[in-house]
Amino acid sequence: MMNIIDILSNEIKIAVKELYNSDIDKKQVQVQKTRKEIAGDYTINVFPLLRISKQKPEETANAIGETLLNNTEIIENFSVIKGFLNIELKQEIWINFLKNNYSLQEFGQADITNKTLMIEYSSPNTNKPLHLGHIRNNLLGFSVAEIYKKAGNNVKKVNLVNDRGIHICKSMLAWQKFGNGETPESTGLKGDKLVGNYYVKFDQEYKKEVAELINNGIEKEAAEKTAPLLLEAQKMLIKWEAKDPEVYSLWKKMNEWVYKGFDITYKNLGVDFDKIYYESETYLLGKKIVQEGLIKGILFKKDDGSIWADLTNDGLDQKLLLRANGTSVYMTQDIGTAHQRFSEFNIDNHIYVVGNEQNYHFQVLKLILKKLGYDWADNIYHLSYGMVELPEGKMKSREGTVVDADDLIDEMINTAREKSQELGKLDEYSDAEKEQVYKTIALGALKYFILKVDPKKGMMFNPKESIDFNGNTGPFIQYAYARIRSILRKAKESNIDFSSITSTELNEKEISLIKSNYDFPETVLNSASNNNPALIANYVYNLVKEFNQFYHDFSILKEENSEIKIHRLAIANFTGTTIKNAMKLLGIEVPERM
């Protein structure tokens, strides 16, 4: 696809050479889209060129504008405002762009860069089901991966499941003591939900024990450390690390329950992975690297035998890497898995999608890897995102106040069903078709509401507000797509052929819609470089608003001039394809009918 900014930049270099006999590099040419309130398509900042022209800004801009107008075939007119040169392109540029692209199904696909990126997201614990916080993580990770693919990269999507540790043992112990042998089959519960219930049960019983110890005169801090249930869970973890047959068998059984539950949720969310790692298989990986760092004098050992990284000269603190008893910590594991992945896949960049409470962790990880001599540490990026809250406030897993992902999806589908039935938009559908559309609308609402927010920002999620057929919502965009498909179906039924369009005068809003479609590939690249799906979400929302206004102001199928009608159908088709491709990058389906 033609890149107009590149064409203009090259023409400006030629004009400067002709006017001032001086060669300039690309950095000195500043071209950007003209602001909407100013006439023109692209604006050139001439201030970086003044030392070459030795003229005032207005004089330089006018001279370059005249030269471009006389020497290039794409420029219709220009204007100068305070040293900024505004270029208006000829209509035929946009008409030819429409001709060449309106029928493409994969418009906006970038050239392959041959860069390999790994994106790690989800990373759940196997002691509870996925919840609303995990939803933002999964949707963000999946969308960023799809955007990077569209931008021309080779992407590996991975998941590191936290399947070991004291929190896992807490669920296991509670099930042993209070479960009476119940299973997902006997209870009708998803496995992750069942195990999560026992994590909550552990916390309830633990608090009872702590309260009893305090009543017996023990200090609160001591009571929390010596409660029998906690001591028993700690013993279970030691047995697990020693691969005690009974504990290990229970661990495998309960984890399998959880994995089956996770798979259902992932399928419902529409996210997937190229590879799944398990902490139980990776938590020892970094120990060898840490020991080598100690031998080289990069790390140091304390009197109790624990191994640390001293980061005080870097403005941070000392970081524990191996405990006195030789066991590893999260940082040790992340050192090992980072080394493994860069070796295994020869990746260029590794992106971790993790909440902003781990900002410090990833700052330390990169620094330690650099000190250990791994130059690829510079290619690690923490995609830090803000927390999701509900109108009721924060969620707590231990207290059972989280919103399960499955429950939220069900609630969203019910809300989509209610709103669609109120509007009567699906009356002609069969029950099965209706249910599929309800699900499509519900997931579109959920994903769009979350992804339209800049990842760096915290957010409030309101399920009712997200399913609205008006405003900046998923259903609003889905309905616009369905409207376009309806127009195109009616055109086909009327035997209107718009497979070949001619050059004819277009109005301002038609040209504006073509330009908006032209902006899609650039938006994809910006979204990838900023790790921000919100740029795609807000782009497609603005595109839909513009199309709806156009649809309101001008007839398409009832237009009497056949050439104009064909152009408008082509623009509608192009816009529909762009909406579909943009929403696909957010993991959102768009229904053919609504």
Q: Is the domain of 165 the same as that of 74?
A: no
Q: Is residue 593 part of a domain?
A: no
Average pLDDT over residues 129-137: 92
User: How close are the terminal C-alpha atoms of the chain, in Å?
Assistant: 33
Sheet with 380-385: list strands edge to edge. 275-278, 154-161, 116-120, 349-355, 380-385
Q: How many domains does the chain have?
A: 3
Q: Is residue 486 part of a domain?
A: yes
Average pLDDT over residues 188-216: 96
Q: Is the domain of 323 the same as that of 257?
A: yes
Neighbours of 332 (CB within 10 A): 24
Neighbours of 470 (CB within 10 A): 8
Kindly report the average pLDDT of the chain as a whole number. Answer: 92
Residue 319, pLDDT above cutoff 50: yes
- Domain CATH number, residue 305: 3.40.50.620
* Cβ pair 460, 390 in contact under 8 A: yes
Q: Is residue 453 part of a domain?
A: yes
pLDDT band for 402, please (50, 70, 90 cuts).
low
Q: Of 499-503, 546-550, 582-586, where does mean pLDDT reach its minimum?
A: 499-503
Pairing of strands 75-81, 388-389: unpaired
Q: Is residue 110 part of a domain?
A: no
Average pLDDT over residues 227-234: 96
Q: Is the domain of 371 the same as that of 428?
A: no
Q: How far is CA 18 from CA 62, 63, 69, 72, 366, in A?
A: 14, 11, 14, 13, 49
Which residues of 454-501 form beta strands (DSSP E)?
459-460
Q: Is the domain of 220 the same as that of 281?
A: yes
Residue 569, pLDDT above cutoff 60: yes
pLDDT of residue 426: 79
Q: Is residue 190 part of a domain?
A: yes
Residue 398, pLDDT above cutoff 70: no
Q: Is the domain of 419 the same as that of 379?
A: no
Q: Is the domain of 245 the same as that of 342?
A: yes
pLDDT of residue 395: 45
Q: Of 202-216, 384-398, 579-593, where does mean pLDDT reach its minimum?
A: 384-398
Separation between Cα atoms, residue 353 and residue 476, nearest integer Å: 28
pLDDT of residue 32: 92
Q: Is the domain of 373 the same as that of 240?
A: yes
The range of the structural domain enclosing residue 441 comes to 411-585
pLDDT of residue 112: 67
Average pLDDT over residues 408-423: 87
Average pLDDT over residues 154-181: 96
- Domain CATH number, residue 41: 3.30.1360.70
Residue 129, pLDDT above cutoff 80: yes
pLDDT of residue 546: 97
Q: Is the domain of 141 the same as that of 238?
A: yes
Separation between Cα atoms, residue 469 and residue 532, nearest integer Å: 24
Q: Is residue 396 part of a domain?
A: no
Q: Is the domain of 75 the same as that of 122?
A: no
Q: Which helix (H) or strand (E) holds 593?
A: none
Report pLDDT digits (tens) over 85-127. Answer: 999 999 999 999 999 999 888 876 666 677 999 999 999 999 9
Residue 314, pLDDT above cutoff 50: yes
Residue % of the chain over a pLDDT of 90: 81
Separation between Cα atoms, residue 94 and residue 77, nearest integer Å: 15
Phi and psi at residue 296, to the nearest 5°: -80, -5
Separation between Cα atoms, residue 183 and residue 190, nearest integer Å: 9
Q: Is the domain of 132 the same as that of 178?
A: yes
Report pLDDT digits (tens) over 259-270. Answer: 999 999 999 999
Q: Which helix (H) or strand (E) holds 116?
A: strand 116-120
Q: Is residue 405 part of a domain?
A: no
pLDDT band for 392, please (50, 70, 90 cuts).
low
pLDDT of residue 320: 96
Identify the burial level of 267 via C-beta atoms within 10 angstroms of its C-beta, where 0-12 means exposed, 13-18 middle and 19 or more buried.
exposed
Q: Of 384-398, 440-454, 469-483, where does mean pLDDT reach its minimum?
A: 384-398
pLDDT of residue 318: 96
Q: Is the domain of 20 the same as that of 169?
A: no
Sheet with 318-322: list strands edge to edge. 300-301, 307-310, 318-322
- Domain CATH number, residue 550: 1.10.730.10
Q: Is residue 103 part of a domain?
A: no
Residue % of the chain over a pLDDT of 70: 97
pLDDT of residue 2: 65
Q: Is the domain of 149 the same as that of 187?
A: yes
pLDDT band for 397, please (50, 70, 90 cuts).
very low
Question: Burial code of 144-183, b = ≥16 C-beta within 10 A, e = fewer?
Answer: bbbbbbbbbbbbbbbbbbbbbbebbbbbbbbbbeebeeee
Average pLDDT over residues 356-383: 96
Closest by CA to 146, choosing from 582, 589, 481, is: 582
Report pLDDT digits (tens) over 49-75. Answer: 999 999 999 999 999 999 999 999 999
pTM: 0.92
Neighbours of 104 (CB within 10 A): 15
